[in-house]
């Protein structure tokens, strides 16, 4: 469940829109319960288009047991992959934004970066004095 929370946060951070994680969650529950007839968070939603049941004797880590597929290793892997993809896209987007901002700064200053924007940890006078 915690990994799903991180996934929803990453989807929100990526898009800036709350409807994306809400839509993903609603779609997941709808597909799992009403399309496939599986338990949703341990509850039965009633009738469904198809009925999918785990084979008798199948390991709980694979089927999710009575809680349903959400508690399976398959769901954990799926949610982890989506989370990592969203985080990678966020990182790429912020890296590109920083690169564009640096380019704009270089253009605005004639190719030099003002002393206050350098990330060296020391001012020009402190570097000269040492």
Q: What's the confidence (pLDDT) of residue 120?
A: 46
Question: Which pLDDT score is estimated for 65?
Answer: 79
Provide the residue ranges of all domains of the chain, joining segments of one domain with +. Answer: 2-47+60-112
pLDDT at residue 44 in the model: 72
Which residues are bridge partners to 43 per DSSP?
40
Contact indicator for 67, 42 with CB cutoff of 8 Å:
yes
What is the per-residue pLDDT for 60? 84
Rounded to the nearest 10°, the torsion over CA 78, 82, 31, 24 is 150
- Output the pLDDT for position 113: 54
Average pLDDT per block of 10 residues along the chain, 130 residues long: 91 95 92 79 70 76 80 92 95 74 64 52 52
DSSP-derived letter for residue 57 is T
Of 122, 102, 98, 99, the closest CA to residue 111 belongs to 102
């Amino acid at each position: 469940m915690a990994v799903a929370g991180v996934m929803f946060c990453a989807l929100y951070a990526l898009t800036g829109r709350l409807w994306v994680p809400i839509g993903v969650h609603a779609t997941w529950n709808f597909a799992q319960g009403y399309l496939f007839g599986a338990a949703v968070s341990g509850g039965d939603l009633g009738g469904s288009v198809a009925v999918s049941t785990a084979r008798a004797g199948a390991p709980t880590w694979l089927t999710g047991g009575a809680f349903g597929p959400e508690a399976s290793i398959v769901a954990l892997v799926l949610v982890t992959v989506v989370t990592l993809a969203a985080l990678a896209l966020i990182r790429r987007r912020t890296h590109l934004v920083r690169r564009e901002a640096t380019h704009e700064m270089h253009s605005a200053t004639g190719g030099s970066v003002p002393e206050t924007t350098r990330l060296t940890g020391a001012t020009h006078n402190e570097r000269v004095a040492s």
